[in-house]
Structures are given as C-alpha cells and as structure tokens.
Chain A
C-alpha cells in the first residue's frame, strides 16, 4: 500500500526554471538566425558586372560555413516562394472552373518535366531582368530550386482543396465566412498535412538542384555563386578531393540539422490538422517543438501580430463571402466558355508556330529525330537503372520494413541519403572512370542511380512496414514457402508503393542525366551519348535552338511514358493491390 503514493507533478519552481531555460535557448537561436541573415544580405548586395562576375569560388575551408549557410538560405527562400505560389495557383485552379482547365494540364506537365533542362533558358531570362546585380544569378539559382519543389506542393494542395470534406465546405458557406477567412480557417488547415509532407520531400530533392545550379555555364560564360554546391564544383576543378570530403561532411550535418530543427517540429505540429476525428495512436514527437511549446517567446511574438491579423481580416472583407451564386445564365456562361477556349487554343497554336519557326531557322527541324535517338539512349539507361535498383533494393527494403527494430534505425539514414545531393559524389566516380577507362556510356547509369535509387528503397520500406500483421501471421500459419510468401503476400503488398518509388526514381534519373552524361574532373571531361549530354552541351555554348529541341524531346519522353506506362501501373496497383 505504501507504494501507491500519489505522483507529485513538477513543483512550481522546477517548472518555471525549465520555462526560463527554454526561453534562453529560443532567444539565442533567434539571435543567431538574425546574425546569419545580416551577413548574407551583405554578400548579395555587392556590386556586379556580368563580364567580371566570379566564375569560381575560393575553396578555403574557412569559407565553408558561410557558403553552406548561404545555400541553406536559398533553399528556404525557394521554399517560401513555392508555398506562396502554391496558395495562389492551387486556389485559382480549385475555385475557378475556367482557370482549372488551363492551370491543371500545365501543372501536370511541369510536374513530370525534367527541371534541370530548363535551367539554361531561365538563367538568360533572370540575367536580362537584373543585369546589374548578383540578384539575377541568385534568382536563377533559387528559381531552379523553386521549379523542383513548387509543382509537387501545388498539386498536393490542389488535391486537398478539391477533396475537402463536403460538409466542412457546406458549414463554411452557411456560416458565411469571407473568402479570406475561409482560406485561413478551412483551406489551409485542411491542406496542412499534405503541404508539410510534400514540402519536406520536395525540400530534400531541392538540394540536388541547388548544388547543380550554383555554378552554371550559360552562353560560354560560367557564373558561380558562393555556396556549398559551388564550393564542391571549385574543389573538383582544382582536384582537391579532401575538400570535397569536407563539404560532404558539412552537407550531411546540414541535412540532419534542418530535419531536426525544422521539419521534425513542423510535422509534429501539423498533426493537429488531421481531419479524422480520433487521435492516432502514434503521434510524431519533436524535441524542438517541445522546447518551443515550453518557452513563452512564441506567445510574446504572437501578441503584436494579433492586431495585424485582425486588420487583414477587416481589409479583405470587401472581397465578399466564400459562396457562389446559385443561378447562372447558361447562355452567357457557354458564350464566355467558347471565347475563352478559342483564345487559349489560339495562344497555344501561336506559341507552337513561333517555336518551330525559331528552331527551323536556328538549327533546323532535323535536330528533332537526332534528339529523339539520343533520347532512346538515355531512356535505356533509365530503364536499366529502375530495374537494377529494384532488384537490389526491393529485398533490402522489405527486410528493413518488416523488421521494426531495423526500420527505426534505418529510416533516418535512408532519409538523409535521399536528401543528399548525389552530384557531390560525382567527382569520386569521375576520378575512378578516368583511372580505369570505363566508358561513361555505361557508368552514367551508376551516376544517375546515385540519387534516384533511394526513392525505390524509401517507398518499398514504407510499403513493407504497412503489411498488416494478421496477413503476415496468416502466411506463417499456412507455412508458406519463401517463394510462395513473396509471390502471394510481399510483392502484391508492396506493389503500389514500389510504383510510386519507381516513378519518382525514373523522373529523378531523367533529370540527373543532364548532369551525369557530361562530367568533369580537373581538366578532363567525359561525355556519354544521350539526350542529357545534348542539352548540357547546348546550354554551355548558348545554342538556344538546340536547347529548346532537347527540352521538348525530353519532356515528351517523360510525359509520354507517364501517360502510357506509369499511369496504367498506378491504376493496376490501385484496383488490384491496394490493402484496404
């Protein structure tokens, strides 16, 4: 009986002491953040002349911390831009029937197109927009990251908007919420979980694009921005393999830090926006979030913001309530539809004619079949990559996924691997190729796989860990042989997630082909036969026509394959092999 003493909670003094400690930690973090921001803005606003712009960066290790911080800042600016873009674009597509008809197909194509192939084209645009400051190059680099993140996030948010629970939509309309209120009280909260998770995944993928675009050659000129990607680029050019190692170490630390300090707390916080009206058994937890919750500083920051929110609520009131008129004039509506459709089609046709005209005068339409043949070569690499990665990673992924102990330990490692920009490893492979004389035509597959393979592993683990326990017990109970077990339980159960992983891997591989089919170490450059090399070379020498041909053909390959092969597999996975 004496054992059952009532448990005394934390006493008053210990609670206030932990709160104070939390306050100190949070305040110190905010101070450090501001200091970093100040140092960076100093770098960006320095004078700039296109002809004397730095073509390389110093590889002095003392520059590395600031370089890494600059890269990180670019990542977050791109993320903020992506979220802002998502809010506008997805809302327009979901709320306007006519806008949806145009915005959705564009998004669908942008999502599956290899982003890196556009880099050369967008770089020229940004340099024209900001000719007299580094801002142009900065923008181009951030834009590259943006284009790798935005579509995915936008699609997820659009999807959450159109699949909003109908009764919540009805409640919002009957309560006569204003458009602004509805957006913040219903649309954003109900899309918060897909927003956060897709943001996290896209952010991980974004590192690759950031590091690939910090040093870029356009129009016979190389532009280098101080950053961890350009640091690795410069170290490779100077054959300083030790410094590449150093940068890799910093990169790994940075990825882990961002996960622990930013994504982990945000995903844990986003749990409150889950729609199901019951608490899930396993809540994601985060030490950082606990710290923030214990500290009073977030509340102090929120106090001055409250009147701002109230003012915004008032200012946006004239935009009206979030409702739609019940009675529409069908004749007028039809007429506007027709005019709209004609205008859109005319614009598309005009653009197409202009483009073909430009190509035929600059490099000739004969480039198309040539690029198509090169595309087949790259396609073969992508195919081998997906098959080989599957053969290697499916058994390993299943083993990890079906062993909870291994899974808990392996999951964070795989996450870091998936976020890690594979192009940091290219110098080592290139060095090896130069030493051994293996052709890049074959080794290119390996280079492309360095980044892409993880998507397959990642998804297979997720699929395998989701196999219901009773099915596994049934398989044990029936004493299925290993062969039968794989055939009747494991492979069907992971098919859906494998398809998702393979699509992402294939998409990543097409992108990677642009940096993997031409590689340089020191003075030696290796080139493979393929569409990626074709685009990379066209970008370097500034042949805009060829660039356009390459981009078009690669986009056609990816979109065509998505439509014919992947979508069918998706449907099969959905109808035959889904677990519910």
Chain B
C-alpha cells in the first residue's frame, strides 16, 4: 500500500463534478466530487452499476469530455483536450471498418507523423505481441469479436501510452474469449518491458475487477460518487477459488448493493424523482422471483448471478425492483422471498395481477403518483406529457422515457391504468378501483 501511495502520479482527478443540463432547466449530476489518482505501476478498476457515471469518468480522464467543475491533469499539467498520455480500448472496439488490421493499428502512428517504414515495423511488432499475426490484411468485419478486440489492444499499445484506459473491454465478448484475453493482457502487464505504466479499467463485473485490479473504486449511482475503495493484494495469476478472492467478491457485492439508498429513504419522503423505478420488466421480475422460490425462498446473489452467467448490471435492477415491490428482502448478499412474493409467484394469473397492482401502487413511487393523479383528474385520464414534464425536473430525456415506459409496463400488467400510444393518453383501468378499495380496507 505504501509503495503505491508514494509512486509517481500519472493522472490526477481533483474535485470533478459532471452535470448535464436537464430537460426542465435543472441540472442532472452524473459525477459528484470525484477525487482519485492513477499512479505508476497500478491497475485500478472503476466498478459501478449502470448510471454510476463510470464511463463518463473514464472519458473525463481521457480528455474527451469536459468536467463541469474540477480538473484532470496528466503528469502535473491540466489537460484541455484529448489526454496526450493515454490510449483507450473501447467496449465496441471502435475500429475503422474500412481499414485493414494493419492500417487500423498504424493509424495512431500516422497521426504522430511517424515515417512509413518505421510505422509498418512498429505496427507489425504490436500485431505480433497481441497474437494477430496472419491477420494483417483482414478487415475488422471479417474477424470475430475477440480478434477485433485484439486489434483494439494492438492499436492502443502500439502508441506505448503512459496509461491504458479500458471501457468495459471484455463485456461484448463471450465468457471464454474474455477470460482468455484478460489472462493474456495480465501476462503482458507483468512483463518488465511492457511500456505502459498504469491501467484504468471500467467494469460492471465484480469478478473481472478482482481478477485485474490492484485496487477497486466502487461508484454509487445517481449521482456517481466514490463510495468505497478496496485494495487487492492477491498475487497474479489470480485464483477464483481462493478464499481471499471469494471474500473480496462478497465485500464488493455488499458495497455495490449497499443500503445507502435505503437509509436515505427513511429520512426523505419517497417520490418518483428521488426513487426512480429500476429498469426491470414484469417478465424479468417474475423470472427472478420464480428462481428464488425454486431455491426454497433464499439465495446468495453472487452465486445466483454466477449460476445464470449474469452480470451485476443484468441482475441488480431486477433485485432492486423486486425489493421495491416487496417481493424480496436483501440482507448483505442474501436475498429472501417475502410472503407477498411467494403469493405472487404461486397465485393464478388474475390474483397475481391483483397482488402486483397493490404492491406497485403502494410501493413504486412513480406508479403511485400516476394512479393518484389519474384518480384526481376529472375523467380518469391524463396526457403522458403531464408526467413527462414532472419527470424532466429530475431526469434526462432518455431516462424520462425509460421511467415512463417502466411505469406503463407495470401499470398495464397490474391493470392499474391503460395507455393509448396514439393519443398519448393514460387512463384509469377498471381494476384500479378495486385495488384502491382493497388498499383502503388494509389501511
């Protein structure tokens, strides 16, 4: 730890906040007061759920987007444009489809004005190093995903960057390919002649973070803040089965699914703006509850994710939604099926719709808001623009649409309200009245 903190800083991020102008005048904060230093000799993972602004942070470090306040400096100099000391590997590879592998790898050298003969030589070396020999004259579209990402690595490494930035570099690849490529990358990193001095990788995959990083920074969502830092002292190559590895994964899981939002919930009133609906469809929810039910009502979430070959990003919104609706309860990394959840899963279709309606109406803030607004309107119907305007005070345009879509999906399933896409009209469903009566009787 001490050697790390005294090592020379390469990139320093100081007090970086990033907000985008919201649709209704107010700003949406994506990153909030981020401070962090990337030092020589370390691999840092930025871990977070979607919406934690981790990719935004990486792009701020790369000098591709400007922070709203705060600054990023490279080797002591504040950057004002693309960071000259870094190269980036993209999730979607970002290769020029019209250039051959060789030309793609040479492109950055060309930009530096390296003469053709040297350019060719260096590119061939990089192609060799990354295991692409024989594919020099192929076009990216002829290659598999794994081979394409190798081109992405070669293109970045041929520049001998000070720091290598990676934006979810393996998440578009299948499990075996990504495992293989990860291993090869870490072998290169361990070599003494490897010119790159630091790596910063963005990921939503906990195991990947533990496999790669010397320390993991966990980002919270909405807005993105650094909510924890976990150093990893495991020797490389790392063994997934070792108890320390598993313990670190558990710890990160707990940090990531942490109760910070729930404790806040007890203090502040819940509303559609403070408590957005998790991105989960009713079908997905039903699937999750069904699985937990099949596990005798209790399951370990990391194990479950592993079993389903899911990643956190896929599983967590479902877990969050199930918790919000009161179908599951989460303690640490354990999920328990509630009585309501059991009822919902085992009832016939009509009854389960009723249960869902009651739960959604009482516990999902946006659904509740829509229902009460419709009940208080003259004819039980309102334009979607009304809710859109409300939501835009706290969400971006895309997020507003997503929130509305989820609420409509849930509301339609529970037959709380119906939506006419042609007229943009939301109207109270027949069942809504019954559900309201039921709620009253329970109160």
Same complex for A and B? Answer: yes
Q: Spell out A's residues near B (CB within 8 Å).
A: 165, 167-168, 170-171, 173-178, 181, 185-186, 189, 192, 272-279, 310, 313-314, 317, 321, 323-327, 576
Q: Among the listed A165, A170, A279, A324, which residue makes an inter-chain contact with B141, where contact means beta carbons less than 8 Å apart?
A: A279
Q: Which residues of A contact B87 (CB under 8 A)?
A: 174-175
B431 at the interface (CB under 8 A from A): no
Q: Indicate if the CB atoms of B422 and A272 lie closer than 8 Å.
A: no
Whether A174 contacts B96 in the complex (CB less than 8 A), given A272-B139, A278-B141, A317-B113, comes out as no
Q: Which residues of B contact A576 (CB under 8 A)?
A: 422
Q: Indicate if the CB atoms of B90 and A176 lie closer than 8 Å.
A: no
Q: Indicate if the CB atoms of B79 and A174 lie closer than 8 Å.
A: no
> Which A-B residue pairs are the 4 nearest by beta carbons?
A326-B66, A167-B94, A175-B108, A171-B94
Beyond contacts A171-B90, A175-B155, A276-B141: 18 other A-B pairs, Cβ-Cβ < 8 A, are A167-B91, A170-B62, A173-B82, A174-B82, A174-B87, A174-B88, A175-B108, A176-B82, A181-B111, A272-B98, A275-B97, A277-B140, A277-B141, A279-B142, A310-B116, A325-B81, A326-B63, A576-B422
What CA separation (Å) do A314 and B99 show in the bound complex? 21
Of all chain B residues, the one with the shortest Cβ separation from A182 is B111
Q: Which residues of B contact A174 (CB under 8 A)?
A: 62, 64, 82-83, 86-88
Q: Which residues of A contact B63 (CB under 8 A)?
A: 326
Q: Indicate if the CB atoms of A178 and B141 lie closer than 8 Å.
A: no
Q: How many A-B residue pairs have CB under 8 A?
A: 90
Q: Among the listed A165, A171, A278, A314, which residue makes an inter-chain contact with B88, where contact means beta carbons less than 8 Å apart?
A: A171
What CA separation (Å) do A173 and B111 show in the bound complex? 10
Q: How far is the CB of B199 from chain A (nearest CB, A)?
A: 15
Q: Which residues of chain B in 95-112 are interfacial with respect to chain A, using CB atoms and an 8 Å cutoff?
A: 95-99, 107-108, 110-112
Q: Indicate if the CB atoms of B88 and A170 lie closer than 8 Å.
A: yes
Q: Which residues of B contact A274 (CB under 8 A)?
A: 97
What CA separation (Å) do A356 and B93 show in the bound complex? 57
> Interface readout for B45-71 with A: 1 if CB under 8 Å, 0 if not?
000000000000001001111100000
Q: Indicate if the CB atoms of A277 and B148 lie closer than 8 Å.
A: yes
Of all chain A residues, the one with the shortest Cβ separation from B143 is A277
Of all chain A residues, the one with the shortest Cβ separation from B107 is A175
B377 at the interface (CB under 8 A from A): no
Of all chain B residues, the one with the shortest Cβ separation from A170 is B64
Whether A326 contacts B86 in the complex (CB less than 8 A), given A273-B98, A277-B140, comes out as no
Whether A167 contacts B81 in the complex (CB less than 8 A), given A174-B62, A277-B97, A576-B422, comes out as no
Q: Among the listed B90, B98, B142, which residue makes an inter-chain contact with A189, where contact means beta carbons less than 8 Å apart?
A: B98
9 A-B pairs with C-beta separation under 8 A:
A165-B92, A171-B96, A174-B86, A174-B87, A177-B107, A177-B111, A185-B96, A277-B93, A313-B110
B84 at the interface (CB under 8 A from A): yes
Q: Which residues of B contact A327 (CB under 8 A)?
A: 66, 80
Q: Which residues of A contact B139 (CB under 8 A)?
A: 272
What CA separation (Å) do A404 and B311 show in the bound complex? 45
Q: Spell out B's residues near A (CB within 8 Å).
A: 59, 62-66, 79-84, 86-88, 90-99, 107-108, 110-113, 116, 139-142, 148, 155, 159, 422
What CA separation (Å) do A522 and B390 show in the bound complex? 71
Q: Which residues of A contact B84 (CB under 8 A)?
A: 176
Q: Indicate if the CB atoms of B97 and A324 lie closer than 8 Å.
A: no
Of all chain A residues, the one with the shortest Cβ separation from B84 is A176
Q: How far is the CB of A109 from chain B (nearest CB, A)?
A: 28
Q: Which residues of A contact B94 (CB under 8 A)?
A: 165, 167-168, 170-171
Whether A167 contacts B92 in the complex (CB less than 8 A), given A177-B107, A185-B99, comes out as yes
Q: Indicate if the CB atoms of A325 and B112 lie closer than 8 Å.
A: no
Q: Indicate if the CB atoms of A326 and B81 lie closer than 8 Å.
A: yes
Q: Which residues of B contact A278 (CB under 8 A)?
A: 141
Q: Which residues of B contact A273 (CB under 8 A)?
A: 97-98
Q: Which residues of A contact B113 (CB under 8 A)?
A: 314, 317
Q: Which residues of A contact B111 (CB under 8 A)?
A: 175-178, 181, 321
Of all chain A residues, the one with the shortest Cβ separation from B145 is A277
Of all chain A residues, the one with the shortest Cβ separation from B83 is A174
Q: How far is the CB of A279 from chain B (nearest CB, A)?
A: 6
Interface hub of A168, A173, A326 (most chain B Cβ within 10 A):
A326
What CA separation (Å) do A412 and B93 show in the bound complex? 39
Of all chain A residues, the one with the shortest Cβ separation from B65 is A326
Whether A185 contacts B62 in the complex (CB less than 8 A), given A174-B88, A275-B97, comes out as no
What CA separation (Å) do A175 and B159 show in the bound complex? 9
Q: Which residues of B contact A189 (CB under 8 A)?
A: 96, 98
What CA separation (Å) do A171 and B62 show in the bound complex? 11
Q: How far is the CB of A324 from chain B (nearest CB, A)?
A: 7
What CA separation (Å) do A576 and B99 show in the bound complex? 38
Q: How far is the CB of A165 from chain B (nearest CB, A)?
A: 8
Q: Indicate if the CB atoms of A167 and B90 lie closer than 8 Å.
A: yes
What CA separation (Å) do A173 and B91 show in the bound complex? 17
Q: How far is the CB of A459 from chain B (nearest CB, A)?
A: 25
Of all chain B residues, the one with the shortest Cβ separation from A181 is B111
